[in-house]
Structure 1
Amino acid sequence: MKRRTLLKTAAAGLISANLPSLSLAMSSADRSANTNGEEHYDYILTAEPAKARIAAGGDSDILGFNGQFPAPVIRAKQGKPLRVMFINKLDEPTTVHWHGIRIANNMDGVPHLTQPPIPAGGRFLYEFTCPDAGTFW
């Protein structure tokens, strides 16, 4: 295996392990509309390089969300709309795939299949109604 392929595969695995959990039907967050006319999102999720202590011996360079490890938990209510502004601060295109949630293909985040990749420096609004209760990643 070429070194570049190995590094990309390892990075993809690290991102998958660091994906935000999505806990449905458990939200106590205030989701009131913004009264000053600004766009309202339930969450802003930023993919960016970060550092994390994964094992003894110091911090490791990772690709993460919002500079956190593990990634932030996203909570939503079954049957209610969820709005997540995704910001790509990585050096390459990426998406967010919502594992196991039954949503419209254009929100599912499978790059080149259900959604075009979000370019480096780009943004995308994921907006869908959560049809099922459960814990997803």
Structure 2
Amino acid sequence: MLPKAPAPQAILEAALYVDDLDAAEDFYGGVLGLECIQKVANRHVFFRCGPAVVLLFNATETVNPPGNPRLPVPPHGAQGAGHICFAQPRDALLEMRDRLRAAGVEIEAEFDWPHGPRSVYFRDPAGNSVEIAEPHLWSA
């Protein structure tokens, strides 16, 4: 039997894998307006999103063993498109949808869920599925 432990209370960071860090930086920083907080050429670019961080990695680099013994982050990566969902109130979500369209980003889907919240789906330059939804999407 496993010992009891409290469950995690929030997501601190989420990772997506991209093949072009410059395009990812332009998209997440320039189009979505997230604040870039760290970049290591050809390896990663990180963005602040509220209290969390969006990590964008070059998967061909992160599968390699760590080069710094003081930071022994295990190798990681993914193949194929990932998914991330950002939260915005409806008015801001609709403004962002219009901004995306103005930037030439195709909206793949936009609808209201049966319980009311709206979602907008599109792709980042690496093909990852990106969603913006109203914050109450997962409210009980």
Q: TM-score range by the shorter chain?
A: under 0.3
Q: Which has the higher helix share?
A: 2
TM-score normalised to the size of structure 1? 0.26
TM-score normalised to the size of structure 2? 0.26
Structure 1 or 2, whichever has the larger Rg, is 2
Structure scoring higher RCO (CA < 8 A, sep ≥ 6) equals 1
